[in-house]
Structure 1
């Protein structure tokens, strides 16, 4: 039997060359590749983190830059609103200015503005008068400071809020300080806003002074041209301004990211330690930031150098974990794909989060801008005047409620339409379009100098007289315009009514004067006729007696001579009243004249009346007829004696009077130096209706036979003929004072010449 074949043993497979080394080589190769990839990914992650942080820093810096520029632009518009409200004059009451300030609500909407103020130019030679005028308004301690002579004086005459630290600025002459003066001159010469260099505000207390700046806008006098520099300098009336304390101005500028960027603001294009305006709180000295950026901002004619630096808080946001995770993860060969996928997903997620975060911040920035625009809109919508703004092509871009009330067009109907179609009368549109084209190219024109009166058209075709104050608005396409418009129809009607009323008043006054003249002439004629008729009766009677009784000729002729002398005296008194009497003026020492008249005056005053006289030391001389002056003083003493019932006193006072335009007792007097002689009594005084007629000839309140009524009229004529002035002051029951102003004579009394006396 054949044995079955023996199964062959399985054949052993021999390892191929390198079979045992392949996994190791592949692992080493994979490790090497992983290491290279990990190193590349690690470096890339570091660069991405650095770039992302730098992008965040650049975004924060640009946002701070734009926020600062926008804030200053908004504050300039606030000042322009004040400029438009003033209408070319700084002479408004402080109550009106305070009411306007309260409407703005600056403390709620505009952080950093210390105050709103008006700096007024004091006319040459009017400093003392200006200070006295303000003190009369209730500010007894008001004075323009700092003291000292200067070619030009200005003063902070209005400032709101008028309390606290702002009181230190009241009366301050900002033009006396070089840095402020440079900005004020720049605003005056350009007509635009100007910012000062670094200053210490007057409001600072002195122990913790912080840097600050001021912004000025010029106020040109209404009705004067201001197209050229020379015209602007001639038309300047003052400035509206606002002081800024830099720490307050920068407060809240960066919002919730204020701790991520440090700011250093320097005055000028080259930063220096002495020019530092602002330093972010908490900045560590000597620290070297990871990122830094320098911008030069042109701030209304003044360069500011702004240095932005990253803070430790921002630098701590750099992603240092991700590179470390990438390095550690790359070591594990088995997790290479997972790590790569994780890195890609993680990178994409981080990028999306960063984009979302930047989008949110951009949206918040737009929200802040819209909020500021809403605040400006609220201010303009509640302005006292109509507000209309247009772009460089003349299309309306802004229209407030007052404009709707004035012109009849709603905001929806007005926006986007040309100003010439809506507001300009048809016969003026072609000229308006040509003028606006020139204005859009250069930003200046005739209506820029001051508020201008023009004729506008309403939506119903009717015309209205308005006053327009225009300001230029720079745009990418040229210059647009913003205008405050005020309806002056009520003012014109009031002016016309006032003109008609004044005309009627003048006509009535002229008629009254003619009637008074006729009455005075009638009284004068009657009085002269009566007195001369009495004299003629005396002369006629004595002549008849002489004819009948020749033996008494001497006595009759003497009566005739007495009557002639009375007639001559009456004629002299009438000539004195008419200022036609012959005078013989001499240099007179009034004090010596009173001394020589002392006994005569005492006899005239009588025993029951006490006569006193006072003389100011250094009394000036005057040029008058001394005899006539004695007659006047004697008559005044006699009148005072007759007015005293019983016992009383008469006082003669001599003094010097240096009168200027504000201290003149009568508008007809010329300013100058006078010798003042006053005669006062304690008599019964005069009623107002008696005082009005006291200087009329033949008017007297004395009984018949006690006076001619020519004493005061003769005194009035003599004083006026001598270049002086006479004035009455009296009150019933309190006596009367007669004041005589005689012009000062600078010549001395010639030696050997004595003033005549009695």
Structure 2
């Protein structure tokens, strides 16, 4: 088929010619292929402008015009590219051709497949290229170094850039001009790549970014320069201005900027600066990476910060808009922050109104990590409650014990009188004895009831505890012990040490229930840990005794309360006691100049260790 039937239809040809005049020169070609390569093509139809432009004729072949070198001709290259991506329009060029009447023409060739044909368009780019060249000539005449850069992004962050174009001044500004040639990577040519990346990312966020560059004879030819990077669509435009005559002034400005940047970076707070009504922050200090877990480039909007706030605290965080609307001069709150790495912190957030240099109303916000301060405060408050309860327990126990002595003494006198003692008196005596034991326990907790210290073998205490506890052990519970044979004794009241160990073992057995493992181990250590803030532990040596279980563990929110008297996470009953176990252990251990610590994680069990000074010198 040498031509399309439409070529015989004058009206259709007239319409297509008009369409071609509007769209530019167009030709329809059926490619002739050899091993998948275009070696020629039948010209089925073309507009008159295409015939004038290319010399092709409807019903002819591409080779009639291009000869044997057809494989390298623009229409052939466009058709070959279109066949590789059917249905997708491709463009090749621009190409330069000389007109017979003089001058030259710049054009591109686009092509798209349709069935077994290729529609080829010849696009005149002469004016655009001329304007482009004029623009480049203007830029080449500037003393300012200008480069057009194609940024390379990773997760929206600029990590490098490739030079698309550079003017003559940029080739003279740098010691190595090859770093400014098209295709060169920016980071390979810059001596301060980190500073340039900060500048590029600030510009990529939407606002032009500026920096001062001082002399570096190994890279920069000029004594000093001011560099501005601006985003234009999908490219960055970098302009570097020679300011060699202002070296001393720029040095002072750069030193001031450095001091300010160092001050901001060393602050224990992350700084956010912005204007009301703008979606992006003007400034975010680099130390936000330590506090919030994200670099400044990923925290450009308030919504970026709000996404890190704990869901329960977001209503408080969102109230910032109410603060703005109310015109309040100061905002203050605490937000829980979920960092990108999964950890959580508590941030004290404060903000004040400010007026920007342009006169616009804005704000300055500070985020400070107060996680450790809040933890210390909670521990301090828990210690204060413990001491207050201890003093109260001591007073109550003392008075209660005095009353019990009167009751018990009268019961003894009645029983010794020879009169018939009723069962009620016997029960009353047993109850009084138990009440007296409870009073002694409370007084021990309060450190007001000293024991009888002597050298005590921990191995012996553990053996007795295991023997006594065997009656409480279910068939599905396994108890293990690990006590070194050369473990030194401790100087303590043996009954009170046994009371501490038995209390911890009882708690562990209750935690594992019908099945699980309870382990008792001991070791000689040089330093002790302590749960009290004002008593962080001291040098030893100490004998450390640890009781561990693989039960359900203690919830995080209850860890500070387990030491409080009468607090228990279990139902108080005849079997479970009154919640004085750990608080009593606390009193006994600290009375012996020892320390206690508890580690627990829900679902993984609990480990309680107490430290008693080792008696290494038996003399």
Q: What TM bracket, shorter-length normalisation?
A: 0.3 to 0.5
Compute the TM-score of the two structures, normalised by the length of structure 1: 0.33
Report 1 or 2 for greater relative contact order, CA contacts < 8 Å, sequence distance ≥ 6: 1
Q: Which has the larger radius of gyration?
A: 1
Compute the TM-score of the two structures, normalised by the length of structure 2: 0.39
Determine which structure has the larger helix proportion and give its number: 1
